[in-house]
């Protein structure tokens, strides 16, 4: 199968997840093209399936991802596709956090008129070493409130790689 992966990232975890998906799919014998939304990604028309991912920041997805979906909505709605939403809220034990990211994702799907039935919520990472002083303080405060990692001298990754692999392969295999 020819698979297109488009991603939008701020701190790099969504790119890392997209690259992981690329490797999993290539190992499974699929042809994969991958592109960052800032690099004028290709149209999905020459692909059998499209995976699109974005991180959530301040309850919003990457604007370039939204633009891409809206620009290619007719093609996306005619072929199999999946959306992967990357957020630290997935790692939270607070029920309301999970409800909020579900709401943000569904609003995104509705706003863009995308008819995908497949949405994966994937935990991101705390990139303390990449944050400026103020963002580091804010993220540490949020992490502390939610029981997350507060050691700001290193990064902390929450992505469940085995779950990502299972979701991607299960989705692709359901299309065969």
Q: Do residues 34 and 3 touch, judged by C-beta distance below 8 A?
A: no
Residue 11 has pLDDT above 90, yes or no: no
The verdict on 62 and 137 lying in the same domain is: no
User: 95 versus 53: which is more confidently predicted?
Assistant: 53
88 lies in the same domain as 16? yes
Pair 45, 81: CB distance under 8 Å: no
Where is pLDDT greater, at 136 or 54?
54
**To 10 degrees, the CA torsion angle through 12, 127, 169, 166?**
180
Question: Are 76 and 136 in the same domain?
Answer: no
Looking up residue 90, the CATH number of its domain turns out to be 3.40.50.360
User: Between these two residues, 81 and 141, which has the higher pLDDT value?
Assistant: 81
Same domain, 112 and 141: no
Same domain, 70 and 83: yes
- What are the pLDDT digits (tens) for 13-45? 999 999 999 999 999 999 999 999 999 999 999
Tell me the whole-structure pTM to 2 decimals: 0.92
Specify whether 113 is located in the same domain as 141: no
Q: Is there a contact between 27 and 173 (Cβ–Cβ < 8 Å)?
A: no
pLDDT digits (tens, 9 = 90+) for 101-119: 999 999 999 999 999 999 9
Question: Which of 48-52, 95-99, 147-151 has the highest average model confidence (pLDDT)?
Answer: 48-52
Query: Considering the chain, what is the average pLDDT of its residues?
Result: 94
Domain range spanning residue 134?
Answer: 126-157
């Amino acid at each position: 199968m020819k698979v297109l992966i488009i991603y939008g990232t701020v701190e790099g975890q969504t790119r890392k997840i997209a690259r992981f998906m690329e490797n999993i799919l290539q190992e499974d014998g699929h042809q994969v093209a991958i592109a960052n939304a800032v690099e004028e990604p290709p149209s999905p028309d020459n692909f059998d399936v499209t995976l699109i991912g974005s991180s959530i920041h301040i309850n919003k997805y990457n604007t370039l991802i939204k633009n891409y979906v809206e620009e290619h909505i007719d093609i996306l709605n005619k072929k199999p596709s999946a959306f992967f939403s990357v957020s630290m809220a997935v790692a939270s034990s607070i029920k309301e956090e999970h409800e909020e990211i579900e709401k943000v994702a569904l609003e995104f799907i509705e706003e863009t008129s995308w008819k995908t039935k497949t949405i994966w919520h994937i935990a991101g990472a705390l990139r303390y070493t990449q944050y400026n002083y103020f963002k580091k303080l804010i993220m540490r405060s949020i992490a502390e409130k939610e029981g997350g990692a507060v050691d700001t001298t290193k990064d902390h990754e929450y992505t469940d790689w085995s779950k990502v692999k299972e979701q991607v392969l299960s989705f692709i295999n359901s299309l065969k």
